[in-house]
Amino acid sequence: MAAVPLAHAGRRAKGLGRRMTGTQTPDTIAEAQQKTAEQIFSVLGSLKGGAMKFGQALSVFESVLPEDVSAPYRESLTKLQDSAPPMPFESVNEVLTVSLGANWRDRFSVFNETPVAAASIGQVHRATWHDGREVAVKVQYPGAAGAVMADLNQVSRMGRLMSGFLPGIDIKALTAELKLRISEELDYLQESKFQRRFAAAYDGHPDYFIPHVLSAAENVLITEWVEGKSLARIIETGTQAERDYYGQLYLRFLLSGPETAGLLHADPHPGNFRIMPDGRLAILDFGASAELPDGLPTAMGTLLKIAMGGDPETVMNGLREEGFIRPGIEMNPQSLLAYLGPFTEPAQGATFKHSREWIREQFSRTSDPRNPDWAVGLKINLPPSYLMIHRVWLGSIGVLCQLGAEFSVRDEFERYVPGFATTAGI
């Protein structure tokens, strides 16, 4: 990880030399940024622990990178997820004894001591509950919480790489909020509370299945077992009909959570979504969830619809009120509207075809110093209160573009995003 900022500093120093000699061009700036992005993805794809979690979070955005960069990253990340060394059963027994009591085995009729999955901070064992139900037992590695937070402290230093490029964003506030949310993800007892609420809210739903929680402690979570294949397999080999259908179900679940359960599932990684044999979409991993008892902010839908209507002054004033433009930051309203325009494209037509080409085009125009939109993007702030919503928003777009899903985004927004349908006349 230390190599990333050091290499980036070297590129900046090289760029400074070119500026002093008058030989720096927008092409050299873009080249330096691209090389840093490639190195970040390469390094995160070969790490574990907190850095691996950070890499998993970034993996939903790999579609913005050229295939020769993103393909090795996907391969290395998949390898890590499949081959992380399991914790010895003696340690599993110790965690279960501390968390559930010395007689923890009495809760199960069968407990498979060989884990079915081992990842960055814990592993999952398949077992049979005392009443005959198949269950998943997630056990956190001893000391994982401290190790992951130490890793994230290192990762947060990468915020310095962005601060010089993004004067409109409060990097310190964002990294503090991110660390707080990640610490919540490490608390399985807190995760169980979120999962219970989701499971109750969607119980009996014809399209979704959320496994019920049977028992939980700070480092142990026992839930109903889910049989099914990951949404990542649909990304790899699914038919177009599967991509369209499950892409729409995926987005609908993310948007409907605040209204249905008062919560936002904030980890849109495709590995957390599984297609069950009966066709329902099962959802896992509720550690990253945001409390939204009043649903999604009405300002979200209102501003989106106004931006589609082409009123630059109203959009800019609304973004200021919501904290997306910090005090003292001046911006041309028309340039702001031009910057936001392509982002409203998915909701403009009867259907929208998500694609890697489309998201790469958006990434290119907003990250390329040669494009006027780049300067506009530097001035836009992300309020900490919108961090989780933004994470889901961007993450879901990344996954949908990996899927290549085509469906009516507008219909989903009109149904689940407050303020969007009510301003339909604009």
- Convert the pLDDT of each residue in 183-242 to its tens digit: 777 889 999 999 999 999 999 999 999 999 999 998 999 999 999 999 989 998 999 999
Q: What is the pLDDT of residue 314?
A: 83
Best CA proximity match to 426, nearest among 362, 325, 354, 347? 347
Radius of gyration of the chain from its Cα atoms, rounded to whole angstroms: 22
Q: What does DSSP say about strands 208-209 and 134-140: parallel, antiparallel, or unpaired?
A: unpaired
Best CA proximity match to 375, nearest among 367, 386, 364, 363? 367
Q: What is the pLDDT of residue 176?
A: 66
96 with 139: CB under 8 angstroms? yes
110 with 128: CB under 8 angstroms? yes
Token pair 């009123």 is at which residue? Answer: 311
Q: What is the pLDDT of residue 181?
A: 65
Rounded distance between C-alpha atoms, residue 54 and residue 151, angstroms: 9
Q: What is the pLDDT of residue 11?
A: 42
Q: What is the pLDDT of residue 43?
A: 55
- Convert the pLDDT of each residue in 310-334 to its tens digit: 778 888 888 888 788 888 778 788 8
- Give the domain ranges of the chain: 1-83, 85-118+121-225, 230-426
Q: What is the pLDDT of residue 54?
A: 53
Rounded distance between C-alpha atoms, residue 47 and residue 69, angstroms: 17
Q: What is the pLDDT of residue 82?
A: 45
DSSP state of 322: T
Phi, psi of 137 (to 5 degrees): -115, 105
Counting as low any pLDDT under 70, the low residues of the chain are 1-85, 119-120, 148, 151-182, 367-369, 371, 373-374, 377, 382, 384-385, 422-426
Rounded distance between C-alpha atoms, residue 57 and residue 151, angstroms: 14
Beta bridge partners of 281: 208, 275
112 with 139: CB under 8 angstroms? no
Best CA proximity match to 404, nearest among 296, 213, 248? 248
